[in-house]
Structure 1
């Protein structure tokens, strides 16, 4: 009986020690854990979603409606051959004529999986461009890109962290320590969801092209409000006196509209000219209409430039794109016509349809 009582007392003493050390209410560290746990509970109770990134704060307008990265001139043909869908592996040949931007010929190879993304591009001028992205965790992705050409080289390193209700990014372009100090460009941004519809963010841009020049730092502040069928956002750079605002609205299931306003008041910030206040501004209005097998975009700005883009799916593997632009102020016009053919075996096409839901997990 005495042995049993001794064992019971020892077990009770061990339990007391474990309970004392494991309690979150003892010591400074325990109190901090308690505060953090309570903060996380209230944070999760708000039901906040990830707001995106500061770089893509106006994604619905700039990429969803406008023609910023889609407009082109001349004739273009592209042939893409997909060899696999999971993982994604494809190559493409692009031919261009009558364009001052596109190379006459370019070859591209692409590989993508849930963890790795690789892309390489080489044109007839021996200009090489490559990208390598790696997903460390579901939230952390590292991105790198390189461009080698006769005009100059560029290297970009980036780390993106996507939280449940925030996004953070750190990016460096052509960083170097060879000149006796840090040179290049460094950008850091953070966007936090405050309410289910409102997000606030900050973006910092540091630039020093060479040690002979003093470093320059610009900080911008961003806000975004996203409702069910409309979005409004804005960014301001006090040091440069720059204000940019965008508004997007979905009129129906097939029609979207957007407007972007950019105002620059040179002379307000510390780096402004000594001549006094100078005002510059631009306003762009655009719309997008989705047909059953086509998409039409059009936009106009205050400089008298009108542009449109029509994408038509002739058949599942063939897509035709028409681009047109008229600049009334410069009395110039541009026309472009492109044909794209996506070739794949039947087995690959079936696997693409099955893996369509997981395609978004590739760290592009």
Structure 2
């Protein structure tokens, strides 16, 4: 019997698929450089396989405790009233008038104007004491941000005037953050003066981040420069966050944050200073100082209550309550048992927004400037 005819297309050997240009290995140029590039690519592949996230900056390593739970930047004393007016939400444009009395830290009147888009932020503030401050932040790329801040205060009976300029550059990588900050940089005295701070925070695992921060400062040309380095660590679990900072000059700061329920947060912040380590202070003996603060934050449907107590016998609380959709009342109280002193503060904030602007909030996403 004759064999059946063979189809030439089926009998032909399978052809190798073409190699795309993007999958071609890089051309070999030098054995030494190629070995370094191979190690670098292997390291990058292993690094990307870990799925690490951006850990934030070193100066905000404990912001869940120091800025969200504790009363460091929230408490006040005396009476205060704020009138806020929003003209637009995208771009963001609003002004504010603040009146205060009975406080030695707040000016009787403060005017603030803010304008921002998704790429830059402009903010200026002027008070009745002729103190002026302004900041300009711009997002150059998705990862690089430039921030500048200027403060000027005139001379008064309380002391001479002062001015300050700070420049900051932040680079947010996929799993790290690098930051460089300079305060009052100058070369007018013939040499470099000012304060320069550089920090780097790297995610080692999905939960652990390690970093360091270096400070170099020279107040004047006749002064000798000095430098210091601090080390930082941050660990984030599913239920709590812990951070630790070690200063080479004898300081240790640790914080612990935990969410108990959906509406309750707690935090502990401990700061230890080991003074007397230099030769000049050794004559007076070692002197250790420390402060521990325990705080809690309760979020209700229309109010937020914060309370804290420290190791020096000071108790404080702040209550923020929305009494109306555009009216917020804040009560602050503080009692120092060791000094037998107490402070009380009351503030009222009124938001003046038109009906058209309130309707836009449901339709247009507000701008997110680089604060």
Same fold at TM > 0.5: yes
Aligned to 1:181: 191
Q: 1:214 aligns with which of 216, 224, 240?
A: 224
Q: Distance in 2 between matches of 1:190 and 1:235?
A: 13
Q: 1:297 aligns with which of 292, 296, 306?
A: 306
1:346 matches 2:348: no
1:264-285 CA distances to partner (integer Å, 9 max, x unpaired)?
1113368865433211111100
Q: Distance in 1 between matches of 2:230 and 2:279?
A: 15
Aligned to 1:231: 241
Aligned to 2:270: 261
Q: Distance in 1 between matches of 2:119 and 2:180?
A: 20
Aligned to 2:288: 279
Q: Distance in 2 between matches of 1:233 and 1:353?
A: 38
Change (3 A) 1:272 1:224: farther
Q: Distance in 2 between matches of 1:267 and 1:339?
A: 46
| Larger radius of gyration between Structure 1 and Structure 2 | 2
Change (3 A) 1:355 1:188: farther
1:250 matches 2:254: no
Q: TM-score, structure 2 length as denominator?
A: 0.88
1:170 matches 2:180: yes
Structure 2 unpaired stretches of 5+: 1-20, 155-160
Q: Distance in 2 between matches of 1:288 and 1:100?
A: 27
Aligned to 2:318: 309
Moved more, 106-115 or 204-213: 204-213
Q: Distance in 1 between matches of 2:220 and 2:362?
A: 50
Aligned to 2:4: none
1:122-176 CA distances to partner (integer Å, 9 max, x unpaired)?
1111111000001100110000010111121111100011111111100011111
Q: Distance in 1 between matches of 2:362 and 2:280?
A: 53
Counting only pairs closer than 5 Å after superposition, residues 91-240 of structure 1 correspond to structure 2 as 91-150=95-154, 151-238=161-248, 240=249
Q: Secondary structure at the match of 1:295?
A: strand
Structure 1 unpaired stretches of 5+: 1-18
Contact 1:66 1:297 in 2 (8 A): yes
Q: Distance in 2 between matches of 1:143 and 1:260?
A: 28
Q: Secondary structure at the match of 1:27?
A: coil
Contact 1:23 1:30 in 2 (8 A): no
Q: Distance in 2 between matches of 1:217 and 1:354?
A: 52
Aligned to 1:62: 66
Change (3 A) 1:219 1:130: same
| Superposed displacement of residue 36, structure 1 | 2.8
Change (3 A) 1:147 1:23: same
Aligned to 1:362: 369
| Superposed displacement of residue 82, structure 1 | 0.5
Structure 1 runs, 4 residues or longer, greater than 6 Å off = none
Change (3 A) 1:344 1:273: farther
| Aligned-residue CA RMSD (Å) | 2.0
Change (3 A) 1:233 1:354: farther
Matched residue count:
344
Q: Distance in 2 between matches of 1:283 and 1:178?
A: 43
Q: Secondary structure at the match of 1:233?
A: strand
